[in-house]
Each structure stands twice: as structure tokens, then as C-alpha cells.
Amino acid sequence: MRTEKEKMLQEDLYRASDSELIAEHARASSLTRLLNQTTEEQLEERQALTKELFGQTGDKIYVEPPFRCDYGKNIFIGEHFYANFDCVMLDVAKITIGKNVMFGPRVCLFTAGHPIDAVVRNTGLEFGRAITIEDNVWIGGNTTVNPGVTIGENVIIGSGSVVTKDIPPNTIAAGNPCRVIRKITHEDEKYWQEKQNQYWAELDNQS
């Protein structure tokens, strides 16, 4: 017979009031409380707490407090991840974040869902749907990502968006609901590489 945790991670209906899940939620609450109480002088402690909280991380990640999550163990993060203030990750299902991903302030990832039927919903049964964010994604502040969404590599999500459906790679998307605005082009790449070259040239001239 499956445990409630197994049902949850397999994206079936489950009860969050299960004792095992309550204990794991309490662990995450304790770690996030300690993380959120660290100061800017305690960067090593902050990094250690972040790595203990999550299921897996790269070596170089940074989460700016305050931060909230349900369990932490169901969050898997690649190298060079940055999350600004007030991010929330409800990880009743798996959250997978690739490398070189940046979150603006108040980005929220919600894997948690509830039955549409009110009678079933009122029993306390709920479910989750995994969220995947691929490599090189930048998500603007105050964005909400809903259950079951995949955001493709190199995507930019405009601030204030509500992402309800998958976003294809190499696009800029924004809005409520979030929609693709345009593709990222070779002209974009050329423009920003020229800007980068100007930046380094100016530094060379100053040295």
C-alpha cells in the first residue's frame, strides 16, 4: 500500500495531514526560518542551510531571504541559480530548475492543486503537478508559475506574468495568462554581444 508521500510524489490525490508529511514540512519550516534569519555577514551559513533544504543543488547557487517552500526536498536546482527576495516554491510535486537560471523578486512556483469538485476538495484531498524550468531562463519579478508547467531553455518571462501553459524555448513571453510575444533572434544575440564587447573595451581603456 502506498504512503501519502508516495501518492503525492506520483501526482495522485493525497492527504497533506499525514504524519510523515507533517514532519517533513516541519523540517522545511525550521530550515527556512533559520535561513531567513541569517544576516548578510553569514553567507556561508546561508549557503549551507540552502543546500540542506533542497533535494539537490549545484555548487554555486544563491537564494536571497526571505524564502518559503513546503518541503524543500522536492526541489532540484542546477549550477549558477539566483533567486531574489520573497520567492515561494510549493513543492508538493517535483520542481526541477536548470543551470544559469535567475528569478526576480516574488517569483512563485506552485505545483500544488486542488480538485475542481467542491465536495472532494472539502475532504482535504489535494494533488501536485511537477514544474520544470530549463537552462538559461530569466523570470521577472512577481511572476507566478502554475502546476504542471515547463518553461523551455533560454526563455525570458516578463514581470507580473501568470504562466499557466508550457512556454517553448528561445522565446520572450509575458502577460496574464502568459503568452509568447516573440522569438529570441540572431539579431538579439548580435546586439548584446556588441554591448558586451563595448563594456570590456571600456574597462581595457581604463586600465
Determine the average pLDDT of the residues in 6-26.
Answer: 98
Catalytic residues: 114
Host H or E run for residue 5:
helix 4-9
Joined grid coordinates for residue 82:
539566483
| Strand, coil or helix: 194 | helix
Task: Give the integer Cα–Cα distance in Å for 62 and 179.
Answer: 29
* pTM recorded for the entire structure: 0.95
Look at residue 16 and tell me whether its pLDDT is greater than 80. yes
3-state secondary structure of 164: coil
Checking DSSP bridges between strand 150-151 and strand 171-174, what pairing results, if any? unpaired
Segment 48-56 mean pLDDT: 97
Instruction: Give the domains, in start order, of the chain with CATH numbers.
Output: 4-206 (2.160.10.10)
User: How many angstroms separate the CA atoms of 44 and 46, rounded?
Assistant: 5
- pLDDT confidence bin for 12, thresholds 50/70/90: very high
Return the DSSP state at 176: T
